Amino acid sequence: MSAQAQVLHSALEVRSLSFEAAEAGRPVDVTGVVIFADPPSTVFIQDETAGTFFRLGNARPPKPGDEVHVTGISHTGLYLPGIEDSTFQVLRHVGLPEAIPATFDDLMSGRYHYQRVAIEGVVRTLSLEGESTTIARVSLGSRVVEVKVEQPLPEALDLVDSRVRVAGLAAGHINARRQLVAPYLRCRDWNEFTILTPCPGEENIPSVSSAQLMNFDVEGQGGHLVRLSGTVLAVFSRDELFLRDENAGIGVKLLQPDPNVRVGDRLEVVGFPEMERFSAFVVDAAITAIEPGETEPEPVEVAFADLMEGTEDGNLVSVVGVLTDKYRSGAGGVLVLQEGKGTLQARTPELPEGLPAGAQVRVTGICQVETTRGQEYRSQPESVSLRLRTAADIQVLRAPSWWTAERLAFVLAAALVAILLAGLWIALLRRQVSRQTVALRHRIEHEATLEERQRIAREFHDTLEQELAGLSLRLDAAVAKGGEDKLMGLLSGSRSLVGRIQTETRNLVSDLRDTTGENTNLEAALKDLAAGHPEGLGPEIRYETPPGDNGLPRLAPRTVHHLKMIARESIANALKHAQANHVTLRAGSENGALILTITDDGQGFDVANDTRGKSGHFGCMGIRERCLKLGASVEWHSEPGKGTTVEVRLSLKEENKAIG
């Protein structure tokens, strides 16, 4: 692209540059008419395409209406691009161009920014800014635009409430993000104002009631001054107050605060009607008459549901509810009230101390509709709040119940903890009782067993052992007398058998008499059982420790006794029936169980038929009964001609309970 083709020749081309392109300094050569001069820095020009500006430097500014030729480079500007490093030449004076009619939306959109525009509206207020600038606020329907006039207000010019046409430079306040915050107009002098409809004069301002304010008019809402009278309900910040006209309330925003206004005074105000969130206010108002009041106005007693109708918007009302919450907000605080299923927020300038949650309170304040919703052709309040005047507008009617939510939660938590502790204590007590019961049962069984063993021992000693002793003496006498060899052999054998029976009887009596409780070592008991067998009489009996065994656990005396007796009965069966040569005893622990085995190499037997008891044979039955008492299981592993293994399995978990 050639350097000549890059030159910008119109205001539209300049203002169409992006920020980056304008910052690059594109060459500019434009001709336009000066529409506003802001010495000593900026001049605004407009051609047939649009408007822009150029920097003056130290040159003398041209006059509005001069046609100038400007050269320079592009500049980013605060909002839209302009021209800097510029030089200009006044070509001729052609006068100001025709102003472009604009609405508030046109100004807010920025489409006519830095161009000459014209607006129409009603002058709301006139005020002096500095020594030589006047601010005129012009209402464009529902929006107000400021017009900055570079002249003071002439005393003879009364524009308030006049409908005017104003021509000037479209400008605005710009933020740091290059965004247009609020548009305004700049005018050279009051000649830019054209009065379309003059103000009616104070004597012609219509008096209206709150019920007539902003009602339908065949000519539409003109937005002109109205006169309103009422009793002061509340004063906020001295420039915002609420009046009650007849039975309705209405808000008033004063141009100048009046420190003499008090609640209860009768006022007459003049101002402009303006729609707020739900109801009309009177804004930019001035007090024209004041009559001191003797009593304060009474609030209207209403329920929460009545507030949602919207008829009390702006009125002084009083409601009763339960305080459910309170919190600080800004310089004041907020109370949250509840009545039935409805809730209401009451904003107060100061939050009282010691106001308890759960108390029933009466609050008095100005009803204000916060949000609305549309329902067919009607607008309905969606949320309503109260605006309290002072902390005195809060009255506690009834203190809260002692059973607050926090206390109830604490009591329930304490009760739950108590229940849990009681349940835990009961569980521990039951466990302790169960253990004590088991121990007591075993102690009773042990004592009963000891007593029975003592009785049996006495009976064996006083009857069987004495009879055997007498029989042994007689056999000794018969042998001493001599006789036939065959008879002598029989007597000698009988004497040996009687001696062996005596020995077994003494051992049995000794075992029954053993109440020391020291024999709780099963391994020692089994070794003693094997060692006590007479040598040369019957098979060899030995005790073996299972490979890898770490020793037997501690057992209850009754358990050792029963296991020993099971082993002895198994050995006796091997002696009497198996014709075995070797009997091996083993005891060890495996997978939480004690395992006792008695193995012989005898002739074996039929397990299914020969362990269920036969007439006159009770050995296997006795083993089963002892296992049942211990909570153990017993199995016989045998086949005819292949020896026999008796296996007893006892759970150590149950045994530990018995010991504990």
Q: What is the pLDDT of residues 546-604, one digit of tens each?
A: 776 667 888 888 788 888 888 888 888 887 777 888 899 999 888 888 899 999 988 88
Please compute the mean of the pLDDT values over residues 194-219 and round it to a whole number: 86
The single-letter DSSP state of residue 203 is G
Q: What is the pLDDT of residue 511?
A: 62
Q: What is the pLDDT of residue 231?
A: 94
Q: What is the pLDDT of residue 1?
A: 41
Same fold, 11-93 and 202-291: yes
Candidates 136, 23, 38; CA nearest to 75 is 23
20 or 653, which is more confident?
A: 20
Q: What is the pLDDT of residue 24?
A: 93
Q: For residue 335, list its beta bridge partners.
A: 326, 346
Q: What is the pLDDT of residue 590?
A: 83
Class of domain 11-93: mainly beta
Q: Does the predicted TM-score (pTM) go above 0.75?
A: no
Spatial contact of 367 and 307, defined as CB atoms under 8 Å apart: yes
pLDDT at 319 over 80: yes
Please compute the mean of the pLDDT values over residues 616-626 and round it to a whole number: 74
Q: What is the pLDDT of residue 3?
A: 45
Pairwise CA distance, residues 360 & 397, whole Å: 5
Would you list the domain boundaries of the chain? 11-93, 100-197, 202-291, 300-401, 402-515, 518-659
Q: What is the pLDDT of residue 240?
A: 92
Token representation of residue 613: 């008891």
DSSP string computed for 276-333: -SSSEEEEEEEEEEEE--SSPPPPEE--HHHHTTSTTTTSEEEEEEEEEEEEEETTEE
511 or 167, which is more confident?
A: 167
pLDDT tens by residue, 589-599: 888 888 999 99
What's the chain's average pLDDT? Answer: 85
Token representation of residue 349: 């300038």
The single-letter DSSP state of residue 75 is E
**Is the bond preceding residue 40 a cis peptide, omega within 30 degrees?**
yes
pLDDT at 515 over 70: no
pLDDT at 40 over 90: no
CATH fold label, 202-291: OB fold (Dihydrolipoamide Acetyltransferase, E2P) (2.40.50)
Work out the angle at residue 530's Cα, subtended by the Cα atoms of residues 529 and 535, and round it to the nearest 5 degrees: 120
- The confidence band for 234, taking pLDDT boundaries of 50, 70 and 90, is very high
Just give the CATH number of 100-197.
2.40.50.140
Q: For residue 269, list its beta bridge partners.
A: 228, 287
User: What are φ and ψ of residue 183, in 5° steps?
Assistant: -80, 155
Please compute the mean of the pLDDT values over residues 353-378 and round it to a whole number: 89
- The confidence band for 468, taking pLDDT boundaries of 50, 70 and 90, is low
Q: Which CATH superfamily is domain 518-659 in?
A: Histidine kinase-like ATPase, C-terminal domain (3.30.565.10)
- The confidence band for 479, taking pLDDT boundaries of 50, 70 and 90, is low
Percent of the chain having pLDDT more than 90? Answer: 46
Pairwise CA distance, residues 385 & 344, whole Å: 6
Spatial contact of 269 and 252, defined as CB atoms under 8 Å apart: yes
The single-letter DSSP state of residue 136 is E
Taking each helix axis from N to C end, the angle separating 557-573 and 405-459, rounded to the nearest 10 degrees, works out to: 40
Spatial contact of 65 and 96, defined as CB atoms under 8 Å apart: yes
Percent of the chain having pLDDT more than 70? Answer: 85
Spatial contact of 470 and 583, defined as CB atoms under 8 Å apart: no
- The mean-pLDDT minimum among 118-132, 190-204, 421-435, 483-497 falls in 483-497
pLDDT tens by residue, 403-451: 767 778 888 999 999 999 999 999 999 988 988 888 888 788 777 777 7
Integer CA distances (angstroms), 165 to 46, 96, 194, in order: 21, 16, 5
CATH fold label, 300-401: OB fold (Dihydrolipoamide Acetyltransferase, E2P) (2.40.50)
SS (H, E, C) 95-145: CCCCCEECCHHHHHHCCCCCCEEEEEEEEEEEEEECCCEEEEEEEECCEEE
pLDDT at 81 over 50: yes
Q: Which helix (H) or strand (E) element contains residue 224?
A: none
